């Protein structure tokens, strides 16, 4: 007999997908049985109360959480998000229900042993409910009480060698794709850069002094597995500046059917014989591919590195050898002004330790945004308000045609008086010689 009746939540379990309701019920049951004799440090029935308060919220069609607070661990201004229930008598198990963000390991690689340690800690000192991974990428621990915060922080930093992540007006936990560890498309070592910047910017991660949140994300190639281009204030996307490497024999093997397109990813149904014209060449967004007899040709200077052809024929086409990354800035979700994708700021930069050039750009952007950004204004909004040209000025970068997404919709770059020979003054008589009034 459950502690609270939850007919509406039960109904959610009936759909075809895995249900978070079932997960919470499972954890509730495991806590009730406590087969491992854990000395739970927060109420044993916390999970039942989560279900109870959620059911009540569905019934009332309003939240019963109070978000935010002063709770945290000493010296850190992020990583803990206070949450309280506004019906603590009815649901004492979730009277405090704070969230902890845990900095995920690079590429989200962990051993099962490490995961077990994290989960054991969280069962002991928290609700046992996690979110792998939050939209920033972190491991998210959902629900504990104030006295447990310092204890968890101590255990994590001293025994698990792991830090809290970012929240609030901080640098958020930087997040990266698996990159070179597993992926042949990686144009730079995403994990190395992510780790380096995480360590370099510890103060920005833990002590909030930004106008609002700021996210770094690292994608090894334009496939953008961590969706940096859509979500990060600064996205680092791998690219190359020489030519796509073509193995003509392998191209023929795809055409002949010996190699499965997309590495066999869509073979669940019969799509007919592979047609290179229809499935690759005609779908190239810049139309820079063609067949010349049995040879596949690419006009590389037109290629915009969309990755389509490489994804379809990975054995035949490979990323170039002169690799680095592009930096795009200003992406964000739609709270104000609608969603925004990143804008190209640095078309190509080498990604080599100690990454000084990259850091220089980051810090110039921060200096500008920290001074000029309004409270709760994301970088992308400041870029819109003051203009892309201003961003180029503060980063001391030269305008480049590759920054123009499409003619007439990008912010124009205007000449300034000091950049024009003779300035704005002109000899009116000379002018009138050619132009009537």
Interface residues with another protein (CB under 8 A) are: 67-72, 75-78, 80-82, 84, 95-96, 99, 146, 167-170, 203, 207-213, 367, 370-371, 374-376
CA–CA distance, 342 with 231 (Å, rounded to integer): 8
Question: In this complex, which beta carbon is closest to another protein, that of residue 70 or of residue 353?
Answer: 70
* Interacting span for ligand SF4 (CB under 6 A) from 54-62, 90-98, 178-186, 266-274: 178-186
- Cβ atoms of 243 and 309 within 8 Å: the answer is no
**Residue 370 binds which entry of ligand SF4, another protein, none, CB below 5-8 Å type-dependent:** another protein
- The CB density around residue 5, as the number of other CB atoms within 10 Å, is 12
Instruction: Pick one of another protein, ligand SF4, none as the site partner of residue 239 (Cβ within 5 to 8 A by kind).
Output: none
167 binds, among ligand SF4, another protein, none (CB under 5 to 8 A by kind): another protein
Using CB under 6 A as the binding rule, whether residue 204 contacts ligand SF4 is answered as no
* Closest residue to ligand SF4 using C-beta atoms: 220
Collect all residues with Cβ–Cβ distance below 8 Å to 164 and sequence separation of at least 6: 73, 76, 78, 79, 80, 100, 101, 102, 103, 153, 156, 206
Shorter beta-carbon distance to ligand SF4: residue 82 or 314: 314
Q: Other C-beta atoms within 10 Å of 148: how many?
A: 19
- Listed in sequence order, the DSSP H helices in 179-279 are 190-200, 202-206, 228-231, 248-256, 276-279
Q: Would you say 197 or 309 has its CB closer to another protein?
A: 197
Q: Which does 365 bind (CB under 5 to 8 A by kind): ligand SF4, another protein, none?
A: none
Q: Binding string, 290-329, against ligand SF4, x = CB under 6 A?
A: --------x----xxxxxxxx-------------------
Nearer to ligand SF4, 150 or 275 (CB): 275
The entry of another protein, ligand SF4, none that residue 223 binds, CB within 5 to 8 Å by partner kind: ligand SF4
> Could you give the 3-state DSSP secondary structure of residue 33?
helix
Q: Which residues pair with 101 in a beta bridge?
A: 140
Of 59 and 376, which CB lies nearer to another protein in the complex structure? 376
Q: In this chain, which of 224, 232, 251, 316 binds ligand SF4, going by CB under 6 A? A: 224
Partnered with residue 292 across adjacent β-strands are 295
How near is the Cβ of 119 to ligand SF4 at its closest, in Å?
A: 26
Any contact of residue 221 with ligand SF4 (CB under 6 A)? yes
Contact window for ligand SF4 (CB under 6 A) among 95-103, 118-126, 160-168, 221-229: 221-229
223 belongs to the binding site for ligand SF4 (CB under 6 A)? yes
Residue 75 binds which entry of ligand SF4, another protein, none, CB below 5-8 Å type-dependent: another protein
Least Cα distance to 28 among 122, 127, 115, 100 occurs for: 127
DSSP state of 244: P
What end-to-end distance do the CA atoms of the chain give, in Å? 92
**Paired strand residues for 290:** 297
Report in angstroms how near the CB of residue 403 gets to ligand SF4 at its nearest: 18
**What are the residue ranges of helices labelled H in 102-218?**
112-125, 148-158, 190-200, 202-206
The span from the CA of 244 to the CA of 246, in Å, is 6
Distance, C-alpha 50 to centroid of its chain: 28
Take residue 300 and report the two structure tokens written for it: 């590389």
- Residue identified by tokens 């990813």 is 265
Sign of the alpha-carbon torsion through 9, 13, 15, 20: positive
Answer with the entry of another protein, ligand SF4, none that 289 interacts with (C-beta below 5 to 8 A by kind): ligand SF4
- Does position 48 interact with ligand SF4 (CB under 6 A)? The reply is no
Residue placing its CB nearer to another protein in the complex, 170 or 175:
170
Q: What tokens appear for 24 in the block?
A: 């919470």
CB 2 within 8 A of CB 45: no
Distance CA 156, CA 241 (A): 42
Closest CB 99 distance from another protein, rounded Å: 7
Residue from 54, 142, 205, 289 that binds ligand SF4 (CB under 6 A)?
A: 289
Residue closer to ligand SF4 by CB (options 100, 296) is: 296
**Tokens found for residue 49:** 């109360």
Decide: is 288 part of the binding site for ligand SF4 (CB under 6 A).
yes
140, 177, 205, 351: which one contacts ligand SF4 (CB under 6 A)? 177
Dihedrals φ, ψ of 259, to 5°? -110, 135
162's contact among ligand SF4, another protein, none, with CB below 5 to 8 A by partner kind, is: none
3-state secondary structure (DSSP) of residue 335: coil
Binding site for ligand SF4 (CB under 6 A): 177-179, 183, 185-186, 219-221, 223-225, 284-286, 288-289, 298, 303-310
């Amino acid at each position: 007999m459950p502690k609270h009746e939850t007919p509406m939540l039960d109904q959610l379990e009936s759909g075809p997908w895995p249900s978070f309701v079932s997960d919470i019920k499972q954890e509730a049951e495991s806590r009730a049985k406590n087969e491992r004799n854990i000395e739970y440090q927060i109420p044993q029935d916390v999970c039942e109360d989560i279900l109870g308060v959620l059911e009540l919220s569905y019934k009332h069609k309003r939240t019963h959480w109070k978000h935010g607070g002063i709770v945290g661990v000493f010296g850190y201004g992020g990583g803990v998000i206070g949450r309280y229930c506004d019906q603590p008598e009815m649901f004492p198990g979730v009277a405090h229900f704070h969230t902890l963000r845990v900095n995920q390991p690079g590429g989200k690689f962990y051993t099962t042993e490490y995961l077990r340690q994290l989960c054991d800690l969280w069962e002991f000192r928290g609700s046992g409910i996690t979110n792998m991974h939050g939209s920033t990428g972190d491991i998210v621990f959902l629900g504990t009480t104030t006295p447990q915060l310092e204890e968890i922080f101590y255990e994590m930093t001293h025994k698990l060698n792991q830090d809290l992540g970012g929240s609030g007006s901080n640098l958020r936990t930087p997040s990266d794709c698996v990159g070179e560890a597993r992926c042949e498309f990686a144009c730079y070592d995403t994990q190395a850069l992510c780790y380096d910047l995480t360590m370099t910017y510890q103060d920005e991660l833990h002590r909030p002094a930004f106008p609002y949140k700021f996210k770094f994300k690292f994608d090894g190639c334009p496939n953008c597995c961590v969706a940096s281009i859509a979500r990060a204030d600064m996205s680092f996307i791998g690219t190359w500046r020489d030519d796509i490497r073509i193995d003509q024999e392998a191209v023929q093997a795809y055409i002949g059917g010996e190699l499965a397109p997309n590495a066999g990813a869509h073979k669940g149904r019969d799509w007919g014989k592979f047609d290179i014209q229809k499935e690759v060449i005609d779908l190239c967004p810049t139309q820079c591919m063609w067949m010349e007899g049995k040879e596949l040709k690419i006009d590389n200077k037109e290629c915009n590195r969309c990755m389509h052809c490489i994804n379809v024929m990975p054995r035949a086409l490979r990323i170039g050898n002169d690799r680095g990354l592009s930096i795009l800035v200003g992406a964000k979700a739609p709270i104000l002004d609608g969603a925004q994708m990143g804008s190209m700021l640095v078309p190509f930069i080498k990604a080599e330790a100690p990454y000084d050039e990259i850091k220089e750009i980051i810090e110039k952007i921060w200096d500008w945004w920290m001074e000029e950004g309004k409270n709760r204004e994301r970088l992308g909004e400041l870029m819109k308000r003051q203009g892309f040209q201003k961003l180029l000025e503060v980063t001391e970068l030269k305008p480049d045609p590759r920054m123009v997404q499409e003619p007439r919709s990008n912010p124009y770059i205007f000449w300034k008086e000091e950049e024009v020979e003779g300035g704005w003054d002109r000899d009116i008589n000379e002018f009138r010689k050619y132009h009537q009034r």
